[in-house]
Structure 1
């Protein structure tokens, strides 16, 4: 599994894809046979009006129209098989015909609504992809894997975000969740990611990176309020981590009110310290940022960070998904499940299985693990400042060859 996987969870159709015609067909045959094999006092041929109605719920417009016509023809054939005194006659014929027309119109409206919902979800997911840049599997000395599951379109797009930023002071990681939903949440997530990508590269102290993020969300709130938007009072829970080259067995973590990250290894699952501070945008209420904590993370352990779409996923009885218990059992059964790719796939499948596919919030799982020190991968070497062209260039020429006198072309 390479990089981030964006997936839309769509509940299966009642009959499965391509078999929507099966239920109406069985109902049509059953009504016809039952009417022909019962006494004259028990005529149910008019129930055939249910066939196009059922088709409207599980089939397309053309298929529903075909069932409407087939039901009408079947009604005529079955009714005429009885003597005149037992025939249902014209009133029920009109009922079946009218039911077929209404069912076809209903199918057209349903298909139109489904296409609209899918377009809206595509727009939402495209917006998220524009914010969450794709990451290679091996990047900046880390092996990473991420899964983002968009919630149902009724829940709108959320503000889950994450990124890895290599730099001269080590590799920094950020995962968070902006409060609220909609494009305003995505806008706030984009602002935080932009600041992280710059501060995470240039700032030596991880606490300074966290301070820059706090200032950015406050500035973003001032701007959104100034332009008259009512959703400007947003905050974001986040986990900011630093993988230093000097401490291969530890990482530095600042937790802004987010759920505790997990250290997942072949020998089990450990819960790292949870956030004892407030989310980004609210730190001024307690007079400062959360502290930087140095925590152990062995070379064979994978750091797993998830959003509340994972931990707050519920089943039909309202029970929350047991992330730690599920991952612990999976690693005990197969230690290779601690690999970042396998781990996020297991979390994804576990959430979908537990919730029955009914996601109430965007769901993100992000896992990273250190690569061996001998491994070479993109992003491990910081860009040399001398390699960046500057205005003016050598000898004051701006890096361009000088034109010969007389205005002619060079060479």
Structure 2
């Protein structure tokens, strides 16, 4: 599943990387926007009688017309299948009656064709109901995805950004990877992370961390306080899971917390929670930012103290590239890892425009999927962000305006 810019065309190029929804299987049976799923059974319905009438009486194949509603049941709707079932019976009666009595297939084969059409229609009903359930579950999953990974406006908080998120689970549309941008009075903060494990427990943990980030990143002045709030939320979430008797009470998350501010136009503040350091990608090349010594979220008590906030140089033309394990641990058929830094470096030297977030994310996404043949071993997030030239960072919202002179007493009185 892709999310954000740079995610179009993925299903066509790498079918193994994303799930195919049940109704989506029939998209190939369309011509100029109109369904032609009825065409294969119709051609077969015409072919079988034609062959039967042009062979000898020793080779009768009119009974094969039972295949027509069977094929229709797999690719057509219920009413279309029912029509083909009826046509198969009518065709059988018409063609069989043309032959001399001694060569006719007889009532037994007629019953076979009739029962076959009925069963094909019932099978189509079951298939369509299954597809409806699949669509409903997809809608539910999409709602969860939009809740966890909310859509980000372009130029949000004074930043250019692009993100792609692909789930390793073929039946899932959301997993444990997460990212978000939160502008506020103290600048714009970015969070990218990866929850350990899979399933709904990982999604729940990601949602808890993102909820805390969106509040703390807006209200807290110091990035260290935001980091502390995230660690506390992780511990509280684990305690809650343990109290419920669940077996994921030791879950943790790696993350990268970035702070952009107008006070440091040529730098960013960063806190790394056991995560791979970001890459700074610019027209002049690629460099890895220093690795932090912070422990993953949930393991803070095992360290000597909270992870430090580091101010790292970042030119206005450079883009921060942050990826999760799906990229760094992608393997090819020989078991070799995907060398992200080398691949991006070569591409940027050939085309400096690749440093733009949308182009960079699309390149890393395609390179990862090519390297692993479209078979992802883990949820994969590629996120790129950089400052927008000439735009202020953050977001300053006044909850309510102060009353004008002389209005305070009147506003506070009860009015009859």
- Identify the TM-score tier after normalising by the shorter chain: 0.7 to 0.9
User: Residue 83 of structure 2: which of 61, 66, 74 is its match?
Assistant: 66
CA distance in 2, matches of 1:245, 1:286: 32
CA distance in 1, matches of 2:386, 2:152: 14
Which residue of structure 1 aligns with residue 67 of structure 2?
A: 50
Which residue of structure 1 aligns with residue 56 of structure 2?
A: 39
Q: CA deviation at 1:91?
A: 1.4
Q: Deviations over 1:122-149 (max 9, x none)?
A: 1122122123333321122212233445
Q: Report whether the alignment pairs 1:112 with 2:129.
A: yes
Q: CA deviation at 1:119?
A: 0.8
User: Residue 189 of structure 2: which of 146, 151, 172 is its match?
Assistant: 172
Q: 5 Å matches for 1:331-350?
A: 331=348, 334-346=351-363
CA distance in 1, matches of 2:111, 2:173: 43
1:42 is paired with a residue whose SS is coil
Q: CA deviation at 1:364?
A: 3.7
Which residue of structure 1 aligns with residue 25 of structure 2?
A: 13
Q: Deviations over 1:32-68 (max 9, x none)?
A: 3332333332222222222222222222212221221
Q: Deviations over 1:180-238 (max 9, x none)?
A: 44443333222212222233234444344223211210111111222334444322221
Size of the alignment, in residue pairs?
397
User: Residue 210 of structure 1: which of 208, 227, 230 is its match?
Assistant: 227
CA distance in 2, matches of 1:225, 1:323: 38
User: Residue 391 of structure 2: which of 372, 375, 379 is its match?
Assistant: 375
Which residue of structure 2 aligns with residue 195 of structure 1?
A: 212
Q: CA deviation at 1:303?
A: 1.8
Relative to structure 2, which stretch is displaced further, 123-132 or 202-211? 202-211
CA distance in 2, matches of 1:232, 1:103: 49
5+ unaligned residues in a row in structure 2: which ranges?
Answer: 9-17
CA distance in 2, matches of 1:195, 1:169: 16
Q: CA deviation at 1:160?
A: 2.8
Q: 5 Å matches for 1:301-312?
A: 301-309=318-326
Which residue of structure 1 aligns with residue 111 of structure 2?
A: 94
1:215 is paired with a residue whose SS is helix
CA distance in 2, matches of 1:20, 1:9: 22
Which residue of structure 1 aligns with residue 12 of structure 2?
A: none
Which residue of structure 2 aligns with residue 262 of structure 1?
A: 279
Q: Is the 8 A contact 2:261 2:394 kept in 1?
A: no
CA distance in 1, matches of 2:74, 2:335: 28
Q: Deviations over 1:347-370 (max 9, x none)?
A: 556667778887776554332111
CA distance in 2, matches of 1:40, 1:178: 69
CA distance in 2, matches of 1:63, 1:327: 52
User: Residue 256 of structure 2: which of 227, 236, 239 is its match?
Assistant: 239
Q: Is the 8 A contact 1:180 1:234 kept in 2?
A: yes
Q: Deviations over 1:133-188 (max 9, x none)?
A: 33321122212233445676733642332222234543221011223444433332
Q: Is the 8 A contact 2:267 2:314 kept in 1?
A: yes
Q: Report whether the alignment pairs 1:132 with 2:149.
A: yes
Relative to structure 2, which stretch is displaced further, 59-68 or 201-210? 201-210
Q: CA deviation at 1:108?
A: 1.0
Q: Is the 8 A contact 2:283 2:352 kept in 1?
A: yes
5+ unaligned residues in a row in structure 1: which ranges?
Answer: none
CA distance in 2, matches of 1:89, 1:118: 44
